[in-house]
Amino acid sequence: MKTAMMALLFVASTANAHVTALEDFTSKPVLADLRDLRALNIPVFAKNEEVQVGYAHITPLMQQRIQERAHKVGKCGGFEDLSHEALFFSTDFEKVLNDLADIQTKNELYEKVPFKLLALNKKPEIEAALTEVSESNLRSYVQWLTSFPSRGSQSAEPNRHVSEMKVRLEAMLGSATIPYEISEIKHSGTKQNTLHVRLLGSEKPNEIIVLGGHLDSINQSWGGGKNAPGADDNASGSANLIETLRIIMEKPQPKRTIEFFWYAAEESGLIGSAEIAKSYKASNKDVIAVLQLDMTLYPGSGEFVIGSMTDFTSAWLRDYLKAMNDTYLHAKIVDDKCGYGCSDHASWNRQGYPALMPFEADFRGKNGSIHSSKDVISPQLNFKHSALYTKIAIVMAMDLANSDARQPY
Ligand code: BES
Ligand code: ZN
């Protein structure tokens, strides 16, 4: 009897130990910087030297090491989580890497073409719309979004701010003159929903301009409170999009459809945008351009200096940004890189859609307070600077959505 009890206890305790061990070694599939993976001796299952991206399965400990290394060189997370794609069970990762390299090659070829888009014709109605951008509106949207203790996809109430924002947008859209739809998109990889507004195009409703940014926030700091106000990351880009919608919804109906996305669970690995971009590709949707606004309030390279991220974006759209800048913005544009799929533009780029990511500064000039309870409205955050990014979205909504231009490759 006693031995039987002992045996049972033994089984129970080893079973427990086994469960703990399993948890410790649970790995997830990621795309990460090849140099980080190599430096840390993490086995790489597939790689692409051209884009310096590797596919690996990482344990929590490996994840911590990658993050430590990334932080040292000024990156945030340093990897893109692919768990939600269930690539673990397929060999699709080879294709993922090859597709990325193809896109890169085409962009590089395009960059070598000597005569491209030279200028945008100045349109008075666009100039007028740009003067409507209100810094005090931006401030009040950011104030409201940061009043939630967290907008995290893994927080206690991951959809509280999403449904409250939907109510606010519905009220605002009461005065829209363009036909619209508003909805919450549910996901399989997260409990959090994406908020979606579609302004229907008149002549070419199947051609889509996507204007997006992530609405979720995160606190990754050790100690120092649990709140995730995410003022810069990314109440700022979210606010730019609200202000864009407010201004363009009463303008004449655009020829192309404009879709706004306030994405879910970006901070947990681009989950919301990855599902959406994948489903758009699967149903063959004709997405002409994707604008990603993520962090627009901290002028870390100077007021009116815009960082244009050159990785996971379209060379054609980066040119378009420069042309728009010459005609309407008169800011300074500097090219830089994240070095990894740092935001939702990477989800669209991976499906072959042209994406653009104008950032608050060059990579080194980024706000150092993000992902902590310190990411709040402060004198360092500059709403005049942030207003610029609203203007980028407005030009895309009023110029590109009324043209025939598309990526020529
Ligand atoms: N806003 C950041 C991305 C960012 C940070 C861009 C600093 C440029 C400079 C974004 O919300 C983020 O934190 N992304 C994650 C990666 C994602 C795949 C989880 C990151 O950078 O760690
Ligand atoms: Zn962000």
* Residue of 57, 187, 196, 214 with catalytic role: 214
- Rounding to the nearest 10 degrees, give the CA dihedral for residues 380, 154, 278, 355: 0
Q: What is the pLDDT of residue 324?
A: 98
Q: Is residue 266 annotated as a catalytic residue, yes or no?
A: yes
Q: What is the pLDDT of residue 83?
A: 75
What CATH number is given to the structural domain containing 335?
A: 3.40.630.10
Task: Compute mean pLDDT per 10 residues along the chain, 409 residues long, and list them.
Answer: 38 39 66 89 85 86 84 71 62 80 92 81 98 98 98 96 98 98 97 98 98 97 84 99 98 98 96 97 98 98 97 96 98 95 96 97 97 97 98 98 95
Pair (263, 311) in one structural domain: yes
Enclosing domain of residue 18: 2-101
216 Cα: distance to centroid of ligand 2 (angstroms): 8
Domain membership of residue 117 (yes or no) is: no
Domain membership of residue 69 (yes or no) is: yes
Pair (79, 133) in one structural domain: no
Q: Find the radius of gyration of the CA atoms of the chain.
A: 22
Pair (264, 396) in one structural domain: yes
Q: Is residue 267 annotated as a catalytic residue, yes or no?
A: yes
Domain membership of residue 148 (yes or no) is: yes
Pair (131, 37) in one structural domain: no
Pair (166, 304) in one structural domain: yes
Q: Is residue 108 annotated as a catalytic residue, yes or no?
A: no
Residue that is last in its domain, among 58, 86, 101: 101
92 Cα: distance to centroid of ligand 1 (angstroms): 25
- The total number of structural domains in the chain stands at 2
Whole-angstrom Cα distance, residue 242 to residue 346? 22
Whole-angstrom Cα distance, residue 328 to residue 129? 11
Within 13 Å, how many C-alpha atoms sit on residue 253's CB side? 14
Q: What is the pLDDT of residue 15?
A: 38
Q: Which atom of ligand 1 is nearest to the CA of 363?
A: 9
Whole-angstrom Cα distance, residue 336 to residue 358? 10
398 burial (CB, 10 Å; 0-12 / 13-18 / 19+) is buried
Pair (97, 131) in one structural domain: no
* Residue of 294, 362, 375, 399 with catalytic role: 294
Q: What is the pLDDT of residue 19?
A: 42
